[in-house]
């Protein structure tokens, strides 16, 4: 419910929000998150405490807005950001540089641990070298993969000075996002509506598979893989369309779902409850897509008043899979979707979900934390 | 508290520029002015004002040189200084949401509910101001640098003055409080804003025995002056219990204070009823004063005089009121509780005169409040525009007043109406900011007359540093059908990509803008690359053009030509040959490319198996002859040995193929 959402105006446009990962056996909800800003003269990486745990009331509700623990200046717009482990964050910059920042928890400071200057760059006609925006980063400690406007894919290791591997001109259009499919394979999306699989074991500088949208080649901006069923992949496009792909078969999406009216900037399956998926968009909305089977057993927060709730018919092609995301079984052929932001104005650039918690950041210079997503 | 509004300098000087020595020249921009010193000296005797404060003008030196010191600087002068204050970004962002809510709010709501809605909007704006003030206050406390601390404190004062003015406007214009409730509202206003005495009140109340405190009577007076009767009586009861001898006197005063009739907010009593009760109570107070009931205690006597609205008695407590408008409201409470809105101006003027007593002249804040009491809305906005270093306040206030249908009669002799004029100024300021420009868009959207033009001019000046930013700007333009700007942004991005040799990106930008000419240009680059290198770059793109292939003829050709290569590579020679021929006969291929296409036909002609039929071979021959004969650049072929050889080889190959195909076709038919 809305009361569970705390907001803070931070005087900078937020391009990325990320929960700090929890230690393996942790039972507590996440308490720390990082944000990155964009389009400022002085951009920053900031670490926030989600709220005062000491103030937890009897019902477990939290009070207090997020508060700043520490921050550090960052050259260029923060284009993407990912925690490498509990202390290190990898940040992609519009200058093409990739930086690992370390959060020192004992004295609440941030410092730059390692930097790959101009990991992404253009060689223009005068053969001078200019940085090209690094648009996406994904980590699988110690490996780091970055993609950029230069169509390049870099594979770094956190402990090595030079890139382990670089695929120049991997894509002739802009690569917008990257994620791991398996430990040796990555997925990229680009500005001509293609989803590509790259096998990093192979020395060929070509993708092992190309999928693409039919019809107009609408650019794809974000990609996420189902945490348990690795063949299910979700992407978000420039027209706000959510595409679900089954990468085991076909070259086109299994289903296309429409909710956003402008660019979808991020898509995330819930890491431990992947029947739930979250997307955010330039249109200022943040949708919660729920395919958990029995609507009557829905968590109560979906029924609380005032929010627009819609049922979408799921146009699936595939019948052989059990997953709710691919199924077209009539009893399961429904998806409940809910917009979590009622009075939307400016773009929601980023979101992250972990446990019962959601954090998102906007161009209206505010960050929001919802600590009771499934209350 | 009003200090920052007092240092207004009517004319402001760009720091560093010296108009007394050199003539200045100007260039007006949308939100900034460029100023530079010329080489021309100053003939007239202009006194230098270099020392004067330049409050609303932030000069930043844009360029320095080694030349003559007089002309080496260009100053960028901004008209909206506050836009650049970090802490105020919260104000800009949060009020943006409120502004949009107000524009979307339902005008149909009639009468009371509409008014309630507008009052709520006004309160929301004020709570954002207060929240900002709180942040700024915290920042001032946290700041170690005294200069910075001073800056923050100044901002707190400015915000506080803005809230004070806004609150008064809310009572008088938005809510339009009527006689009776009006005084109550003004009392709330004074209680909320006169906080200089709060620390004194706290000190006395928290002391062990308040009645023994030396400031005890001051605090009682403060409560009485602010009409906080219950609090005053509570304090007095403590004093009474300590002085059993004068118990009776306390009881009488307490009774008077308890019985004081107050206007009700509901409709439970009419004004006449109230006035009647008031008259009775007033006479009762008068009696006690005259019969000397309080003569033994000057404190209580003075309180009784205040209850009677005795101007001199109230004025004696000047220090406890600190401002003339507190005096005004106290005076109204005790002598004219049913004052009508239109009578306010008289009491306001005389209160100010009495309070200042000719010792000091009114400050800008006083003038603004006075204009409000006089119901001169335009004067309020005008004065605020001059005095405040931001457009935020006047833009949002006049928009709200406009929604209250209070500004409609007023048209400017320039531009559109005042609301729009001020919104345009504010939004232009936002657009001059490197980061806040996105907020400006929605303000322009709600300026019916010039908003669109402003947006068009401003949006083209947003630096497109990354593709992501370009996409955001593009979305703004596309949503508003600003085709010209869409094309221009895509073209800029396509050109950038082209310069960086990112042909794929370049093409997707021109596809987005449906820019056929540019798509043709890029296709030609692809073809040129192919001719030079003998292989295609960016196959991932060309193989997946899809329907966008139809955007330009050249792009169609590029896609089809690549398809030919694929078919050839897959050894589907018959299909490849058919496609190759169609490219020429259907005039899909540009003439300049025909020679390449014909050369591509050579290996097909020399396959073991016959590929081209007789008819196809004739067509190929005609293409070749058209090219060599019909081409105005015929010279070219004759001069160029390589080209001549190529043509000869082609002719030979075609003739041989024709021979083979005749034999073959003859055989097939014969069998």
Binary contact (B465, A77; C-beta < 8 A): yes
* Nearest-by-Cβ selection for B435 from A39, A210, A217: A39
Would you state the pLDDT for residue B286? 93
Last residue of a domain, one of B309, B339, B369: B339
Binary contact (B501, A125; C-beta < 8 A): yes
Would you state the pLDDT for residue B399? 95
Alpha-carbon dihedral B622, B625, B629, B630, rounded to 10 degrees: 40
Would you state the pLDDT for residue B282? 92
Would you state the pLDDT for residue B14? 65
* Nearest-by-Cβ selection for A125 from B435, B499, B503: B499
pLDDT surpasses 70 at B45: no
pLDDT surpasses 80 at A218: yes
Q: At what angle do helices B641-670 and B594-605 cross, to 10 degrees?
A: 50
Sheet containing strand A5-9, strands side by side = A5-9, A366-370, A357-362, A348-354
Any idea how long chain A is? 375
**Does B442 share its domain with B471?**
no
* Nearest-by-Cβ selection for B538 from A94, A122, A172: A172
Q: Please enumerate residues of B whose Cβ is less than 8 A from a Cβ of A.
A: 86-87, 89-90, 93-94, 96-97, 100-101, 434-435, 438-439, 442, 465-469, 471-472, 475, 479, 499-505, 507-508, 511, 537-538, 540-541, 544-548
Higher pLDDT, B15 or B480: B480
**Does B199 share its domain with B303?**
yes
The distance from CA B397 to its chain's CA centroid, rounded to whole angstroms, is 14
Binary contact (B472, A11; C-beta < 8 A): no
In angstroms, the CA B99 to CA B395 distance is 10
Contact between A128 and A165 under an 8 Å Cβ cutoff? The reply is no
Q: For residue B523, which residues of chain A lie inside 8 Å, CB to CB?
A: none
Instruction: Tell me which residue has tokens 């550090």.
Output: A72
Binary contact (A217, B544; C-beta < 8 A): yes
Would you state the pLDDT for residue B633? 54
Q: For residue B511, which residues of chain A lie inside 8 Å, CB to CB?
A: 217
Q: What is the mean pLDDT of chain B?
A: 84
Would you state the pLDDT for residue B85? 83
Query: Per residue in B505-524, is it b (16+ CB within 10 Å) or e — as a string?
Result: bbbbbbbbbebbebbbbbbb
Residue of chain B with shortest Cα separation from A77? B466
**Does B270 share its domain with B320?**
yes
Asked if residue B481 is part of any domain, the answer here is yes
Asked if residue B134 is part of any domain, the answer here is no
The DSSP element (H or E) to which B84 belongs, if any, is none
Binary contact (A263, B475; C-beta < 8 A): yes
Number of domains making up chain B: 4
Binary contact (A130, B465; C-beta < 8 A): no
pLDDT surpasses 60 at A373: yes
Binary contact (A172, B505; C-beta < 8 A): yes
pLDDT surpasses 80 at B562: yes
- Reported ipTM: the value is 0.89
Angstroms from A67 CA to nearest CA on chain B? 13
In angstroms, the CA B669 to CA B613 distance is 13
Binary contact (A173, B508; C-beta < 8 A): yes
Residue of chain A with shortest Cα separation from B470? A39
Question: Hey, what are B285's tokens?
Answer: 């107070």
The residue-averaged pLDDT of A317-337 equals 58
Asked if residue B171 is part of any domain, the answer here is no
Angstroms from B4 CA to nearest CA on chain A? 24
Angstroms from B446 CA to nearest CA on chain A? 14
Instruction: Tell me which residue has tokens 């506080």.
Output: B160
Q: For residue B548, which residues of chain A lie inside 8 Å, CB to CB?
A: 216-217
Q: For residue B545, which residues of chain A lie inside 8 Å, CB to CB?
A: 217
**Does B545 share its domain with B594?**
no
Contact between B158 and B91 under an 8 Å Cβ cutoff? The reply is no
Angstroms from A149 CA to nearest CA on chain B? 8
**Does B222 share its domain with B316?**
yes
Would you state the pLDDT for residue B410? 57
- Residue A327: CB atoms within 10 A of its CB come to 20
Residue of chain A with shortest Cα separation from B499? A124
The residue-averaged pLDDT of A184-196 equals 93
* Nearest-by-Cβ selection for B503 from A150, A172, A217: A172
Would you state the pLDDT for residue B6? 43
Q: For residue B535, which residues of chain A lie inside 8 Å, CB to CB?
A: none
**Does B231 share its domain with B291?**
yes
The residue-averaged pLDDT of B471-479 equals 95
Asked if residue B117 is part of any domain, the answer here is no
Q: For residue A151, which residues of chain B lie inside 8 Å, CB to CB?
A: 502, 504-505
Would you state the pLDDT for residue B446? 95
Residue of chain A with shortest Cα separation from B99? A345
The residue-averaged pLDDT of A9-27 equals 91
Digit-coded pLDDT (tens) for A256-285:
888 899 999 999 999 999 999 999 999 999
* Nearest-by-Cβ selection for B541 from A150, A173, A347: A173
Would you state the pLDDT for residue B23? 76
Q: For residue B468, which residues of chain A lie inside 8 Å, CB to CB?
A: 38, 77, 79, 94, 133, 135
Among A172, A216, A345, A361, the residue to mutate for chain B (most B Cβ within 10 A): A172
Range of B431's domain? Answer: 409-453
How many cross-chain Cβ pairs, A to B, lie less than 8 Å apart?
135
Last residue of a domain, one of B339, B355, B372: B339
Q: For residue B540, which residues of chain A lie inside 8 Å, CB to CB?
A: 171-172, 194, 207, 210
Binary contact (B511, A217; C-beta < 8 A): yes
Would you state the pLDDT for residue B52? 34
Q: For residue A214, which residues of chain B lie inside 8 Å, CB to CB?
A: 546
pLDDT surpasses 60 at A314: no
Domain-wise residue ranges, chain A: 5-23+33-56+69-293+335-370
Digit-coded pLDDT (tens) for B189-217:
999 988 778 888 888 888 888 888 888 99
Higher pLDDT, B6 or B608: B608
Contacts of B638 (CB under 8 A, 6+ apart): B644
Q: For residue A364, which residues of chain B lie inside 8 Å, CB to CB?
A: 93, 96-97, 439
pLDDT surpasses 80 at B561: yes
**Does B201 share its domain with B333?**
yes
pLDDT surpasses 70 at B325: yes
Last residue of a domain, one of B453, B478, B512: B453
In angstroms, the CA B636 to CA B431 distance is 56
Binary contact (A174, B544; C-beta < 8 A): no
Would you state the pLDDT for residue B58? 42
Contact between A95 and A118 under an 8 Å Cβ cutoff? The reply is yes
Asked if residue B197 is part of any domain, the answer here is yes
Binary contact (A173, B466; C-beta < 8 A): no
**Does B600 share its domain with B536?**
no
**Does B521 share its domain with B419?**
no
Would you state the pLDDT for residue A327? 66
The DSSP element (H or E) to which B59 belongs, if any, is strand B58-63
pLDDT surpasses 50 at A312: no
Binary contact (A194, B540; C-beta < 8 A): yes
Binary contact (B469, A192; C-beta < 8 A): no
Asked if residue B48 is part of any domain, the answer here is no
Binary contact (B500, A366; C-beta < 8 A): no
Q: For residue B507, which residues of chain A lie inside 8 Å, CB to CB?
A: 173
Asked if residue B327 is part of any domain, the answer here is yes
Asked if residue B138 is part of any domain, the answer here is no
**Does B539 share its domain with B577?**
no
Would you state the pLDDT for residue A198? 96
pLDDT surpasses 80 at A93: yes
Would you state the pLDDT for residue B55? 35
Instruction: Tell me which residue has tokens 């505010």.
Output: A366
The residue-averaged pLDDT of A187-200 equals 93
Binary contact (A364, B93; C-beta < 8 A): yes
**Does B309 share its domain with B272?**
yes
Binary contact (A238, B465; C-beta < 8 A): no
Among B90, B102, B486, B504, the residue to mutate for chain A (most A Cβ within 10 A): B504
Give me the half-sphere count of Cα atoms (radius 13 Å) on the Cβ side of residue A95: 12
Question: Hey, what are B232's tokens?
Answer: 């005053």
Among B133, B500, B522, B523, the residue to mutate for chain A (most A Cβ within 10 A): B500
Digit-coded pLDDT (tens) for A114-131:
999 999 999 865 556 688
CATH top-level class of A5-23+33-56+69-293+335-370:
mainly beta
């Amino acid at each position: 419910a809305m009361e569970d959402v705390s907001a803070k105006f931070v005087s900078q446009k937020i391009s990325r929000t990320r929960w700090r990962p929890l230690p393996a056996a942790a039972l507590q909800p996440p308490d720390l998150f990082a944000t990155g800003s964009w389009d400022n003269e002085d951009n920053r990486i900031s670490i926030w405490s989600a709220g005062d745990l000491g103030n937890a009331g009897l019902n477990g509700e939290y009070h207090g807005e997020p508060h700043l623990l520490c921050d550090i200046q960052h050259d260029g717009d923060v284009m993407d950001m990912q925690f490498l482990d509990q202390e290190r964050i990898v940040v992609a910059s519009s200058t093409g540089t990739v930086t690992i920042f370390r959060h020192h928890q004992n004295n609440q400071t941030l410092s730059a641990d390692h930097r790959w200057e101009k990991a992404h760059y253009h060689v223009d006609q005068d053969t001078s070298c200019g940085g090209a925006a690094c648009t996406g980063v994904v980590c699988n400690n110690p490996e780091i993969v970055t993609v950029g406007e230069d169509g390049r894919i870099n594979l770094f290791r956190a402990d090595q000075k030079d890139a382990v591997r670089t695929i120049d001109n991997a894509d002739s259009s802009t690569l917008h996002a990257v994620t791991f499919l398996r430990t040796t394979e990555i997925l990229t999306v680009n500005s001509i509506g293609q989803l590509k699989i790259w096998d990093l074991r192979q020395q060929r500088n070509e993708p092992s598979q190309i999928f693409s949208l039919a019809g107009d080649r609408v650019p794809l901006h974000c990609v996420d893989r189902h945490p348990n069923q690795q063949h299910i992949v979700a992407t978000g496009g420039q027209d706000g369309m959510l595409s679900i792909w089954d990468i085991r078969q076909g070259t086109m999406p299994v289903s296309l779902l429409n909710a956003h009216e402008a660019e979808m900037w991020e898509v995330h399956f819930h890491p431990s409850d992947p029947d739930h998926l979250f997307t955010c968009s330039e249109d200022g909305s943040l949708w919660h897509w729920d395919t958990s089977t029995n609507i009557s057993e829905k968590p109560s927060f979906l029924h609380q008043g005032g929010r627009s709730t819609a049922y979408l018919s799921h146009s699936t092609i595939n019948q052989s899979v059990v997953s709710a995301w691919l199924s077209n079984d009539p009893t399961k052929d429904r998806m409940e979707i809910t917009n979590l932001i009622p009075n939307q104005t400016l773009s929601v650039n980023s979101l992250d979900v972990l446990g019962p918690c959601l954090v998102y950041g906007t161009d209206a210079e505010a960050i929001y934390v919802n600590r009771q997503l499934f209350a | 508290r009003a200090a920052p509004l007092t240092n207004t300098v009517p004319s402001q000087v760009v720091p560093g520029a010296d108009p007394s020595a050199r003539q200045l020249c100007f260039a007006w921009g949308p939100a900034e002015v460029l100023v530079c010193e010329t080489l021309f000296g100053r003939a007239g005797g202009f006194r230098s004002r270099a020392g004067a404060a330049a409050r609303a003008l932030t000069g930043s030196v844009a360029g320095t040189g080694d030349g003559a010191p007089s002309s080496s600087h260009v100053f960028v002068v901004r008209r909206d200084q506050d836009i650049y204050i970090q802490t105020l970004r919260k104000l800009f962002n949060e009020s943006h949401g409120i502004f949009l809510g107000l524009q979307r709010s339902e005008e149909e709501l009639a009468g009371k509910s509409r008014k309630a809605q507008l009052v709520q909007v006004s309160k929301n704006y004020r709570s954002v101001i207060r929240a900002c003030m709180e942040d700024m206050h915290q920042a001032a406390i946290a700041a170690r640098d005294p200069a910075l601390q001073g800056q923050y404190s100044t901002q707190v004062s400015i915000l506080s003055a803005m809230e004070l003015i806004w609150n008064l406007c809310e009572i008088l214009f938005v809510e339009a409080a009527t006689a009776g409730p009006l005084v109550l509202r003004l009392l709330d206003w004074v209680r909320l804003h006169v906080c200089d005495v709060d620390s004194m009140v706290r000190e006395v109340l928290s002391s062990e025995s308040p009645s023994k405190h030396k400031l005890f009577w001051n605090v009682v007076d403060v409560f009485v002056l602010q009409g906080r009767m219950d609090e005053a009586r509570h304090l007095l009861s403590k004093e009474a219990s300590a002085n059993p001898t004068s118990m009776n006197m306390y009881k009488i005063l307490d009774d008077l204070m308890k019985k004081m009739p107050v206007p009700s907010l509901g409709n439970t009593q009419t004004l006449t009823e109230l006035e009647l009760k008031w008259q009775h109570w007033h006479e009762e107070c008068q009696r006690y004063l005259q019969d000397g009931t309080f003569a033994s205690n000057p404190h209580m006597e003075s309180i009784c005089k205040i209850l009677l609205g005795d101007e001199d008695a109230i004025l004696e407590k000047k220090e406890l009121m600190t401002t003339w408008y507190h005096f005004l409201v106290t005076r109204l409470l005790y002598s004219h509780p049913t004052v009508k809105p239109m009578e306010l101006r008289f009491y306001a003027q005389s209160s100010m005169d009495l309070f200042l007593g000719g010792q000091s002249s009114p400050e800008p804040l006083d003038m603004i409040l006075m204009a409000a009491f006089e119901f001169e809305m335009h004067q309020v906005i005008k004065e605020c525009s001059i005095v405040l270093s931001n457009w935020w306040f006047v833009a949002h206030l006049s928009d709200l007043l406009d929604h209250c249908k209070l500004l409609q009669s007023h048209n400017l002799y320039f531009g559109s109406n005042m609301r729009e004029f001020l919104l345009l100024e504010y939004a232009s300021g936002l657009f001059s900011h490197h980061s806040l420009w996105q907020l400006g868009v929605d303000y322009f959207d709600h300026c019916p007359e010039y908003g669109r033009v402003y947006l068009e001019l401003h949006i083209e000046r947003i630096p497109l540093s990354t593709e992501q930013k370009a996409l955001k700007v593009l979305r703004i333009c596309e949503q508003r059908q600003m085709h010209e700007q869409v094309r221009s942004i895509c073209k800029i991005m396509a050109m950038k990509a082209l310069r960086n040799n990112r042909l794929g990106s370049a093409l997707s930008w021109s596809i987005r803008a449906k820019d056929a000419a540019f798509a043709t240009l890029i296709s030609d680059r692809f073809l040129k690359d192919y001719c030079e290198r003998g292989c295609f770059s960016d196959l991932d793109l060309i193989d997946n053009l899809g329907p966008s292939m139809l955007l330009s003829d050249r792009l169609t050709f590029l896609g089809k030509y690549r398809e030919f290569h694929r078919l050839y590579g897959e050894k589907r020679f018959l299909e490849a040959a058919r496609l190759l021929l169609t490219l020429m006969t259907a005039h899909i291929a540009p003439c300049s490319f025909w020679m390449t296409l014909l050369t591509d036909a050579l290996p097909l002609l020399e396959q073991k198996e016959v590929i081209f039929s007789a008819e196809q071979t004739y067509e190929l021959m005609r293409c070749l002859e058209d090219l060599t004969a019909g081409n105005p650049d015929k010279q070219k072929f004759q001069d160029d040995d390589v080209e001549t050889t190529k043509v000869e080889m082609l002719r030979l190959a075609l003739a041989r193929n024709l021979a083979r195909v005749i034999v073959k076709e003859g055989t097939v038919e014969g069998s």
